[in-house]
């Protein structure tokens, strides 16, 4: 997983460096984020955004469930002399009150939550934000699913995303269009015959739907783009990036 965050050949666990640089540049030049802001990066991974935002003069807290990612992020921060508060925790357990100017959640994390979990996260983010604070995140649209298509394949791996050792991958996609929901199922078989099933669920959004959800949870959409790097919004894009203000 950690390797997948850094791999510049694909956008597996994080987007590639050039896109991350463009995103940070866009958020700063459009004045969505400012020097001195207190930022909470939810699902910060190995700190690819947190470290850049700290370099730009923001005071950053990064939270991730992955011990390996947080250990890596902390080591990098120490090496670079960055004062970033990295916490290894479940972001559904945060308990901040009016602490941050902005909360960031990058790379479609919201799409992986059920409606109940999504609303729970929005309530935690709302509470964590100062008055007029902003929540910056992105969601995928049905367009992305259509581009990627339903996979139905198997392959053998010498070691990679799912396992360090040799394993067989059986991959199958399921579409539930009535709920804008998509399931990618992976059955992984180790050399010793052990089998594990991983199910990745994705809930896609339109601008109308995410705006409605935000409104119901105490936010107002300030800006919408087709990417966090500031691509002008047009209907039919594969991603929607949002800057939503706490009201």
Contacts made by residues 162-166, CB under 8 angstroms, sequence distance 24+: 162/186, 162/188, 162/198, 163/188, 163/190, 165/190, 165/191, 166/190, 166/191
- Quick one: 91 or 100, whose CB is closer to ligand SAM? 91
Query: What's the CA gap between 180 and 91, in Å, rounded?
Result: 25
In the bound state with ligand SAM, the residue whose beta carbon lies nearer, of 99 and 189, is 99
Q: Segment near ligand SAM (CB under 6 A), from 39-47, 124-132, 183-191, 225-233?
A: 39-47
Q: Which is nearer to ligand SAM, 94 or 214 (CB)?
A: 94
Site residues for ligand SAM, 6-25, by CB under 6 A, read 13-14
Contact 244, 139 (CB under 8 A): no
Nearer to ligand SAM, 5 or 82 (CB): 5
* Cα–Cα dist 56/39, whole Å: 12
* One of 37, 64, 138, 243 touching ligand SAM (CB under 6 A): 64
CB 37 to ligand SAM: min, Å: 18
Q: How far is CA 228 from CA 73, 172, 207, 219, in A?
A: 22, 30, 14, 18
Residue nearer to ligand SAM on the CB measure, 25 or 189? 25
Which 68-107 residues touch ligand SAM, going by CB under 6 A? 69, 90-92, 106-107
Q: What is the 3-state secondary structure (H, E, C) of 134-149?
A: EEEEEEECHHHHHHHC
The residues binding ligand SAM (CB under 6 A) are: 5, 13-14, 43-45, 48, 63-66, 69, 90-92, 106-107, 109
């Amino acid at each position: 997983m950690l390797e997948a965050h850094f791999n510049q050949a694909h956008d597996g666990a994080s987007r590639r460096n050039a896109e991350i640089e463009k995103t940070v540049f866009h958020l700063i030049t459009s004045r969505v984020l400012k020097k001195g802001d207190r930022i909470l990066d939810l699902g910060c991974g190995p700190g690819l955004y947190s470290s850049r935002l700290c370099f730009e003069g923001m005071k950053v807290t990064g939270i991730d469930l992955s011990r390996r990612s947080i250990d890596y992020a902390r080591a990098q921060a120490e090496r670079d002399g960055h004062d970033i508060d990295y916490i290894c925790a479940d972001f559904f357990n945060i308990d901040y009150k009016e602490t941050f100017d902005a909360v960031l959640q990058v790379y479609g994390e919201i799409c992986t939550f059920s409606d109940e979990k999504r609303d729970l996260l929005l309530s935690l983010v709302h509470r964590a934000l100062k008055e007029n604070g902003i929540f910056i995140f992105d969601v995928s649209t049905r367009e992305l699913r259509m581009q990627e298509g339903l996979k139905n394949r198997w392959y053998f791996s010498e070691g990679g995303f799912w396992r360090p050792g040799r394993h067989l991958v059986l991959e199958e996609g399921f579409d539930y269009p009535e709920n804008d929901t998509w399931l990618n199922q992976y059955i992984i078989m180790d050399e010793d015959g052990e089998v594990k099933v991983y199910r990745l669920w994705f809930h896609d959004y339109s601008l109308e739907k995410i705006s409605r959800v935000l409104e119901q949870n105490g936010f107002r959409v300030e800006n919408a783009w087709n990417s966090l790097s500031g691509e002008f919004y047009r209907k039919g894009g594969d991603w929607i990036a949002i800057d939503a203000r706490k009201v």
